[in-house]
Amino acid sequence: MRIEGLRVAILGGRTGLLGQALTKAFGRAGAMAFPLSRKDCDVLDPLCVEKWLDRNDPDLLINATGYTQVDLAEDEPEKAFALNATAPPLLATLAARRAIPFIHYSTDFVFNGSKHSPYTEYDEANSTSVYGISKADGERGLLKLGYDRTLIIRISWLFGPGRTNFVKKILGLADTRRNLSVVNDQIGSPSYTPDIAENTIRLVERDASGIFHLANSGETSWHGLANTAVNLANKDCTVSPVPTSAYPTKAVRPSYSVLDLAKFTRTTGATPRRWEDALRQYVLEDLGLGA
């Protein structure tokens, strides 16, 4: 699909961490991006979304919305399932009626973390958290619908400009504390939202459909990510590794959720850059810290 001149509707594109990066990347690539907020279109109200689509006639519909509060989801399962499981197939149905491609984002948290090598698209979703189960249900609903122009992109550990995220929170805390403790026994692939957006465009250019894994290359722990960010930003703060047992959370997170990027590379010919390089860009250029 040619990006130049493409009319792209991006649900979550106005305020979402990933949505904002998608809006910028599609704009830079010559598309006409329509970022939508909850006020423009509540995805829980498909009629409202349909009216918007009728009025604006996009060529591509992207769902970058989601219930993303992993711990709160344990107390609000109805809200998590409404947004993460019920809404995606309804949105895909609207895209199917118009015969336009539909892109949806899922998560590494659909896995329970029992593997010790990167998760491929063929591994079974087996999360035990409400968030992970609701996202896996959303994927299943889309696959069951069977609209062949659906692209599901599983991503992980997002950081980037425009909205608070793990790295930004750590750097804020590093201003007020001499020491931070961060878990070092959960391993994953950090992902810079502008890189996810650029690489989404690569998949769109190749008319990709089905499930793809996407992240920055490499892997680390939350401690590794926090420590690297604090060092890049030259903060006067040490980051100590602690086990998950020292920092219990309501939702159980996977101890290992690195995503295998081979299918993305086979399809696009591109290899995402390493997370350390992307983190440097975020800390030094986007946040203007360090050096």
Ligand X SMILES: NC(=O)c1ccc[n+]([C@@H]2O[C@H](COP(=O)([O-])OP(=O)(O)OC[C@H]3O[C@@H](n4cnc5c(N)ncnc54)[C@H](OP(=O)(O)O)[C@@H]3O)[C@@H](O)[C@H]2O)c1
Q: What is the total residue count of the chain?
A: 291
Q: Would you say 66 or 89 has its CB closer to ligand X?
A: 66
- Reduce the DSSP state of residue 34 to 3 states and report it: strand
Distances (CA, A) of 236 to 28, 172, 173, 184: 37, 12, 11, 20
Site for ligand X contains 221 (CB under 6 A): no
- Active-site residues, by number, are 131
Site for ligand X contains 279 (CB under 6 A): no
162: its two tokens: 């425009």
Site for ligand X contains 225 (CB under 6 A): no
Site for ligand X contains 105 (CB under 6 A): yes
Residue 121 burial by Cβ neighbours in a 10 Å radius (0-12, 13-18, 19+): middle
By rule CB under 6 A, what count of residues binds ligand X? 25
Phi-psi region of 288 (alpha: psi -120 to 50; beta: other; left: phi over 0): left
Site for ligand X contains 12 (CB under 6 A): yes
Contact pattern from residue 114 through residue 153 relative to ligand X, giving x for each residue in contact according to CB under 6 A and a dash for the rest: ---------------------x------------------
Q: Would you say 44 or 173 has its CB closer to ligand X?
A: 44
Separation of alpha carbons 205 and 270, rounded Å: 12
Q: How many helices (H) and strands (E) does the chain have?
A: 10, 12
Q: Would you say 104 or 263 has its CB closer to ligand X?
A: 104
42-101 binders of ligand X (CB under 6 A): 42-44, 64-66, 68, 83
Site for ligand X contains 107 (CB under 6 A): yes
Cβ atoms < 10 Å from Cβ of 201:
20
Residues that bind ligand X (CB under 6 A): 11-12, 15-19, 37-38, 42-44, 64-66, 68, 83, 105, 107, 135, 155-158, 163
